[in-house]
Amino acid sequence: MTDIYSVSSITATLGFREEAVELAALSWFELIGWKTVSGDYLAPDGLMGARTSYKQAVLEPELRSALATLNPDATPAMIDAAVRTVLAIPSQDVLENNRTFHPLLASGVPVEVNQGGESRTIGLRLLDRINPTANRLLVANQFIIQGSDERDGIRADVVVFVNGLPLGLLELKSPADAQATLERAHRQLQNYRSKVPELLRFNQVLIVSDGLQARIGSLTAGMDRFAPWRTVDGAALDDSGRSELEVLIRGVFAPERFLDLIVDYIAFEVVDGVVHSKKLAGYHQFHAVRKALASTIDAEGTHGQRRGGVVWHTQGSGKSLTMLFFVRQLQLAKALKNPTIVVVTDRNDLDDQLSGTFNAHISALRGIPAQADSAEEMRRLLTVDIGGLVFTSIQKFRGDDGEHPLLTPRSNVVVIADEAHRTQYGFRKRFVVGEGGVREQVGFAEYLRQALPNATFVGFTGTPIDDRDRSTVGVFGEVIDTYDMTQAVADKATVPIHYTARLAKLRLNLTDEEREELDALAEELTEGDDAAIERNKGNLTRFEEVVGAPDRVSQIAADIVTHFEQRREAMAGGKGMIVTISRRVAVELYDRIAELRPDWVSADPRDDSSGMLKVVITGNGNADPAPLQPHLRSKKRREALAERFKKPGSGFDLVIVRDMWLTGFDAPSLHTLYIDKPMRGHGLMQAIARVNRVWGDKPGGLVVDYLGIGAELRAALAQYTARDRDQVRLDPDEAVRQTLMRLESAQSLLEGAPWRDFFPAGSAARLTILKQCLEHVLASGSREDFIEAATKLEVAYALSAGDERVTARRDEIALIAAIRANLIKYTAGAGRGRENIERDIRQLLSRAVMADGILDVFKSAGLDQPDLSILSDEFLAEVGQIKEKNLAVETLRRLLADEIKARSRSNIVEATKLSDRLDDTIRRYHNRAVDSLQVIEELIALARDISAANARSAELGLNSEELAFYDALSENGSAKALMEHEHLRLLAQALVQAIRKSASIDWTRKESVRARMRIEVRKLLARYGYPPDLQKAAVDLVIRQAEAFANVWN
């Protein structure tokens, strides 16, 4: 490129606006080697002569020049043909055109040439992958382009060109404009698809940012799939204290990374010949694959240990796609010389799911994946000289007398184990006594290594398990890359998982022997090993009789119906899954739910096209009992039903399973998992991860435990990072506690408004009361506090809506939501779009509140706020009557802690005494020295003392500041006894006046001011006859009290 690519000078000083974000972005591009220009340079009459029309998205002169440079042997005719191919518009579908263009970046533009009378096709390179900086790297801001209709022209904020091709697009917003949200930027990008499809036809990455936050996504990604890019080079997270946009630009657009990302880390999902979506690797996937490739090449080398390492990425973070991108890199790696790749799972359904994912994104791969349906086919597929991608289950590696035939001695064989644990460990040799005598037996993992002795093994897992002789790291090598639950939640790649226990009221009298028997059965159930279950059918049946008792099944059915209805109301739809101990119990639970909600099921259970509730289980054909027969399906029917369940609006919203769909099954709208089956270890963690997928505004997934698996969940979390253990919230009351606390916080801001009259009132009166509540919030200056409190309540309610303690307060929550929605809609400054407001109303408002409509509050008059404390006698009596005593203790503790914190800013003596009492009471409660009821009584007494302390000012004739100094002076009992009350009172008033006069800004940091203030205090103490021997302590306490008032006075 020539010198004409310099940015025109900017002479005007810009404020904190969108233009400032553009200039910052351009500067970061320049730092990593890109040339930047104003969009005017690229206009048809611009200085570069880059286009002849505003309808052109490609800079054709740049493209031609790059083709000639990258392909020195190409003739002008060949370059003309290549340009025609690039610019040709294959169809009217912008996504299909985008998919058609992408292979040209990877493989070059196919051009036919005639050499020696023979016609053949060669590819002309569009990119220089070997020397990325040799490409023509150009970034333009304010780039104008028109659609076929000139009225559809747009001015793109920043367009990223490589060799004249517009491969990146940034939509920027002002960080100072509350309405200029990332959602709005994303909506504009989606509009560009219809207005200027020519620009989006070549696009590989889309960016939305307001300068502080930044997200990256693909052409088809919804806003919930736009993700942060949090690292520059993959070594560490770099966005702490830095602009996310800077980290994203430097991390994504560094030339060597950008070309790799857009060529090798993009996959198109194609089903039945139709493009469904375009997927772009996230930062954790991109860098994990790079690390895994380097580790694999090193392990496969002459001195390698054949252990490529472990990629530990939590469930729901796109592990299957990470594996897809990894396989592509293995296939392209010259050092591996076209390796044979074996993808191993331990269950047939996982094998089907993973091979299905790869086949749906087949354009990212070389060759066609093969799936081995039998051990014989697996052996045939792996007995090859080179190449190949084979999917198989580890159970197909079986041998006789501990031996498996050699399939290939080659070293360029890579075995990728999905979920690198479970059956991947069996190396121990055992001697088994049978009818024919004693024979040797080893695990599947040993057979696998006998078949492929020189293969390199790489593990992918989201559930690292290390029990006794099982060791993920020991088998596969060290962890290459970690992306844990906490990071995934922070990146919004997944949502947090919450846990609650709703144990059925059934007394289980199990002996120690039966308990051990149950544990052994639970382990086999989680492994999904049907053969083991069959061997222990007697044990299973005995436990089924307890868990599957008719009364218990009916009780659980009724609870699930009520709970799920409330969850769906709170989540505005979505789906649930019930896990049962057996197929028999699954069917019986279906029947009980059908009796309670006949409209949830189809007239014929065999009808897969209708019905909200289904049972999905495997079958043994005619050998199964008659009640199971209507629910048995072929593999093809189960696959079709799975696709229906994955669609949010399909009407199939609740499924009952035993083992099916618990691993490798992604249904983002699934938000609630009901577990009524003993589970443990990795199986439990895999199951609960079904509810952690991102879906719209879903705040989190919920696991409802009917069988008491809390201990197993803690044990399963033992090998996760400490941050991850915090992500699965084991406190069943926490969501409820948070909801009720947030509700009380919001209602405290309504004290003085007649909100309690809203519920018994009629529709017309409700409108008036709602208006009065809005006026009160505005007049009291607590608008922002109320919106914040109500927003936190919304999130907590969405997670606890099924709990009866919350259901009892649902009307109150709905009223808070209605007030919040009106505040946002009719007063300025909230910065939330209409969609979010509608979502809030849809999720939280009851029908009665919704029917009352929205009010115009600008005509409202101010209302005085009565002084009604949240710690009133009425409130304390209400808390004292709460049935859940632990909840009452916690609620009061938080309320009192907040009250004491507030008082500590004004009266340090009194607050210290109160907080000591609070700490002592809570400490004795946790030590179980007193019961919950006694603790509540003590806390209520403490709360009354706080309220009484608030009334002392009037009694003594002192304001709050003077009272604080009065208490500081009388803290020493001797002083109070020696001095008259009136002298102490007058001294306190004099101290306030003197200290306020002495206090200046930042006086607490200026020793000279503090020294003068001490002298003034001593003079006043002496003048009013304060005991001399007590003056030093009094001066220190008075100064401390003054410091507590410093912020208020300044």
Look-up of token digits 């709905």: 814
Inter-CA distances, 523 with 302, 462, 668, 713, 802, Å: 41, 19, 28, 13, 30
With CA atoms as reference, report the closest residue to 742 among 793, 682, 668.
793
Residues in Cβ contact with 345 at an 8 Å cutoff, skipping those fewer than 6 apart: 351, 354, 391, 392, 393, 394, 417, 418, 419
**Mean of pLDDT values over 216-220:** 97
How many whole angstroms separate alpha carbon 855 and alpha carbon 851? 12
Same domain, 294 and 236: no
pLDDT digits (tens, 9 = 90+) for 113-143: 887 778 899 999 999 999 999 999 999 999 9
CB 729 within 8 A of CB 703: no
CB 594 within 8 A of CB 627: no
What's the maximum distance between 2 C-alpha atoms anywhere in the chain? 121
Residue scoring higher pLDDT (981 or 15)? 981
Q: Decide if pLDDT at 431 tops 90.
A: no
pLDDT the model gives residue 728: 52
With CA atoms as reference, report the closest residue to 456 among 511, 513, 411.
411
Domain contains 90: no
Same domain, 504 and 644: yes
pLDDT the model gives residue 474: 60
How many whole angstroms separate alpha carbon 130 and alpha carbon 319? 29
3-state helix, strand, coil in the chain (%, to 5): 50, 15, 35
Range in 243-257, 288-302, 875-889, 976-990 the model is least confident about: 875-889
Contacts of residues 627-636 at CB distance under 8 Å and 24 or more positions apart, as own/partner, are: 627/584, 627/587, 627/588, 627/591, 628/583, 628/584, 628/587, 630/604, 630/605, 630/606, 631/586, 631/587, 631/590, 631/605, 633/608
Indicate the DSSP class of residue 861.
P
Domain contains 857: yes
With CA atoms as reference, report the closest residue to 57 among 250, 260, 226, 195.
195
Give the highest mean pLDDT range of 666-675, 855-864, 960-969.
666-675
CB 876 within 8 A of CB 940: yes
Inter-CA distances, 977 with 672, 964, 987, Å: 66, 18, 15
Query: Which spans in 44-163 are helix H?
Result: 60-70, 76-87, 94-107
Strands, E, within 712-833: which ranges? 728-729
Domain contains 683: yes
Single residue among 208, 241, 275 that ends a domain in this structure:
275
Look-up of token digits 């702490």: 240
Q: pLDDT-based confidence at 671, cuts 50/70/90?
A: very high
Same domain, 452 and 588: no
How many whole angstroms separate alpha carbon 649 and alpha carbon 662? 21
With CA atoms as reference, report the closest residue to 158 among 185, 118, 176, 131.
185
Cα angle 559, 562, 565; round to 5: 140
- DSSP line for 408-427: ---S-EEEEEESSSGGGG--
Q: Which helix (H) or strand (E) holds 160?
A: strand 154-162
pLDDT digits (tens, 9 = 90+) for 774-831: 888 888 888 888 988 888 887 777 666 556 687 788 788 888 888 887 777 555 433 3
pLDDT the model gives residue 775: 80
Tokens of 723: 């941050």
CB 313 within 8 A of CB 724: no
CB 17 within 8 A of CB 174: yes
Q: pLDDT-based confidence at 528, cuts 50/70/90?
A: very low
Tokens of 335: 């050092």
Main-chain phi, psi angles of 344, to 5 degrees:
-115, 130
Residues in Cβ contact with 801 at an 8 Å cutoff, skipping those fewer than 6 apart: 566, 567, 569, 570, 571, 807, 810
pLDDT digits (tens, 9 = 90+) for 1028-1041: 767 777 777 777 77
Indicate the DSSP class of residue 255.
H
Same domain, 301 and 424: yes
How many whole angstroms separate alpha carbon 548 and alpha carbon 581? 8
Strands, E, within 813-934: which ranges? none
Indicate the DSSP class of residue 743.
H
Domain contains 850: yes
- For the chain, the domain total comes to 6
CATH of the domain at 181: 3.90.1570.50
Same domain, 562 and 613: yes
pLDDT the model gives residue 145: 95
Q: Decide if pLDDT at 849 tops 50.
A: no
pLDDT the model gives residue 443: 63
pLDDT the model gives residue 610: 92
At 283, is the secondary structure helix, strand, or coil? helix
Domain contains 537: yes
For the chain, give the number of residues.
Answer: 1050
Share of the chain above pLDDT 70, in %: 71
Q: Decide if pLDDT at 693 tops 90.
A: no
Range in 536-540, 589-593, 742-746 the model is least confident about: 536-540
- DSSP line for 374-411: SHHHHHHHH--SS--EEEEEGGG---BTTB-------S
Q: Helix 348-360 vs helix 319-332: angle between axes, to the nearest 10 degrees?
A: 60
Computed from CA positions of residues 486, 489, 494, 499, in that sequence, does the dihedral angle turn out positive or negative? positive
CB 701 within 8 A of CB 692: yes
CB 274 within 8 A of CB 217: no
Q: What is the mean pLDDT of the chain?
A: 77
Q: Decide if pLDDT at 863 tops 70.
A: no
CATH of the domain at 414: 3.40.50.300
Same domain, 604 and 748: no
With CA atoms as reference, report the closest residue to 256 among 123, 158, 125, 162.
162
Single residue among 677, 703, 731 that ends a domain in this structure:
731
CB 455 within 8 A of CB 415: yes
CB 696 within 8 A of CB 732: no
pLDDT the model gives residue 909: 56
Same domain, 297 and 325: yes
Range in 149-163, 505-519, 690-704 the model is least confident about: 505-519
At 344, is the secondary structure helix, strand, or coil? strand
State pTM to two decimals.
Answer: 0.63
Inter-CA distances, 805 with 198, 675, 739, 939, Å: 56, 21, 10, 22
Pairing of β 654-657 and β 613-616: parallel
Q: pLDDT-based confidence at 714, cuts 50/70/90?
A: low
How many whole angstroms separate alpha carbon 644 and alpha carbon 646? 5
Pairing of β 654-657 and β 575-580: parallel
Same domain, 421 and 543: no
Same domain, 444 and 515: no
- HSE-up of 624 (CA within 13 Å, CB side)? 16
With CA atoms as reference, report the closest residue to 282 among 253, 317, 312, 255.
317
Count of C-beta atoms within a 10 Å radius of residue 881: 9
Domain contains 839: yes
Strands, E, within 619-689: which ranges? 654-657, 670-676
Same domain, 258 and 308: no
- HSE-up of 560 (CA within 13 Å, CB side)? 34
Give the highest mean pLDDT range of 605-609, 796-800, 1003-1007.
605-609
- Host domain of residue 762: 735-868
Q: Quick one: CA torsion of 765, 769, 772, 773, rounded to 10 degrees? A: -160
Domain contains 93: no
Same domain, 665 and 571: yes
Exposed (0-12), middle (13-18) or buried (19+): which is 795, by Cβ within 10 Å? middle
CB 309 within 8 A of CB 480: yes
Q: Which helix (H) or strand (E) holds 839?
A: helix 834-844
Q: Decide if pLDDT at 324 tops 90.
A: yes
Domain contains 820: yes
Single residue among 930, 956, 982 that ends a domain in this structure:
956
Tokens of 407: 């399939």
Same domain, 921 and 979: no
Main-chain phi, psi angles of 305, to 5 degrees:
-100, 5
Tokens of 620: 């043994």
